[in-house]
Amino acid sequence: MIIVLTPQATDKDVDELTDNLKSRGFGVHISRGVERTIVGCIGVLDTEKAELSEQLQALPYVERVVIISKPYKLVGRAFRPEGTIINVRGVEIGGNRLTVMAGPCTIETEEQLMETARFVKQMGAHILRGGAYKPSTSPYSFQGMGKDGLKLLAAAREETGLPIITEVMDTRDVELVAQYTDIFQVGTRNMTNFALLKEIGNTNMPVLLKRGWASLIEEWMQAAEYIASRGNYNIILCERGIRTFETYTRNTFDINAIPVAKELSHLPVIADPSHGTGKASLVPAVAAAAIAAGADGVIVEVHPHPERALKDGPQSLRFEAFAQMMERLRALAPAVGRSI
């Protein structure tokens, strides 16, 4: 850890700081430049650095503290350089084969879910998505079917053989949802719901962790570390777009985050171009882009009748559009050294 003092810092300040750090058991290394003094602090545990850094920055003679190492270890690339493959009922996520997760935003009726499940299965999707508990900006919007939705999902798995993924939003629901789903989804609004992350960390279930819409990539890594630090390493990262000044699209899909996440972490990375764009017409192009950039797969919203969807109609692919997207990805996969 490097502590940069202000130009006004006196020798007394340097001594005080040195004593302070030594009394905590750290090594100290002083470097006096022309304009200011820089103090290296050696032996601080990575897990202590954020706290110590804030404390030192509160000192009047400290201008800045620079932390070198990453605040996450278990999900860091160095921890498992070869990468992580997560096996969900035989579907490998993070391996050579790309993973396509597809289904409706929200489970509305048995018919809607089954029709979609059968179609996406037939087109080659590997995982079925569907929301039973829905985060809605408005309290007056549909909040999801809850447990009945979970049952329908399980029935769809039964019929199609596709493993399922569904969102969990409340610590109190983790146990129930775990009885039905194969993969938890943590939505963008709950990436910083640390109580929820801890609860999921206590299970050993696979979890798809969406990046918060205004979370730094390194905060996303730390959210994953919350789960891993409880012992659950079955984490799938999901970039779903961030909030920027641009209003033409619902979010700005952060394509840079794909190769960055692969550099920083050993975890699989999935792209969500449905939320990343908010417009069905843009989904196939951004899905292809994410695969070309190194993503391990995509998660997309598909609906038999988007104009009747209870949620996310504008970004849901019609069946025909989903079929075309699959064709596009099928052409692309070998060109980037993957299968599908």
From the list 11, 82, 90, 137, which residue makes contact with a second copy (rule: CB under 8 A)? 137
Residue 252 touching a second copy (CB under 8 A) = yes
Which phi and psi angles does 3 have, rounded to 5°?
-115, 115
Residue 236 CA to residue 254 CA, distance in Å, equals 17
From the list 122, 263, 327, 339, which residue makes contact with a second copy (rule: CB under 8 A)? 263
Residue 2 touching a second copy (CB under 8 A) = yes
Q: How many CA atoms lie within 13 A of 104 on its CB side?
A: 32
Residue number with CB closer to a second copy (8 or 87):
8
Minimum CB separation from a second copy for residue 114, in Å? 21
208 exposed, middle or buried (CB, 10 Å; 0-12, 13-18, 19+)?
A: buried
Residue number with CB closer to a second copy (153 or 293):
293
- C-beta atoms surrounding 148 within 10 Å: 12
In contact, 152 and 117? CB cutoff 8 Å: no
Q: According to CB under 8 A, which residues from 69 to 88 bind a second copy?
A: 69, 71-72
Residue 24 touching a second copy (CB under 8 A) = no
Minimum CB separation from a second copy for residue 159, in Å? 26
Residue 210 touching a second copy (CB under 8 A) = no
From the list 96, 159, 204, 308, which residue makes contact with a second copy (rule: CB under 8 A)? 308
Minimum CB separation from a second copy for residue 41, in Å? 9
Residue 59 CA to residue 29 CA, distance in Å, equals 18
Minimum CB separation from a second copy for residue 54, in Å? 5
Q: According to CB under 8 A, which residues from 285 to 304 bind a second copy?
A: 285-286, 288-294
In contact, 283 and 306? CB cutoff 8 Å: no
Residue number with CB closer to a second copy (80 or 198):
198
Place of tokens 């629901």: 173
Residue number with CB closer to a second copy (267 or 288):
288
Residue number with CB closer to a second copy (161 or 331):
331
Residue 112 CA to residue 103 CA, distance in Å, equals 10
Total number of residues that touch a second copy (CB under 8 A): 109
The residue type at 239 = E
Stated length of the chain: 340
Which phi and psi angles does 252 have, rounded to 5°?
-105, 110
User: DSSP state, 105?
Assistant: S
In contact, 280 and 321? CB cutoff 8 Å: yes
From the list 234, 253, 265, 267, which residue makes contact with a second copy (rule: CB under 8 A)? 253
Minimum CB separation from a second copy for residue 138, in Å? 5
From the list 176, 189, 205, 324, which residue makes contact with a second copy (rule: CB under 8 A)? 189
Residue 280 touching a second copy (CB under 8 A) = yes
Residues 91-120 vs a second copy: string with x where CB under 8 A?
A: ------------------------------
Residue 18 touching a second copy (CB under 8 A) = no
Residue 265 touching a second copy (CB under 8 A) = no
For 93-127, letters b (16+ CB in 10 Å) and e give bbbebbbbbbbbbbbbeeebbebbbebbbebebbb
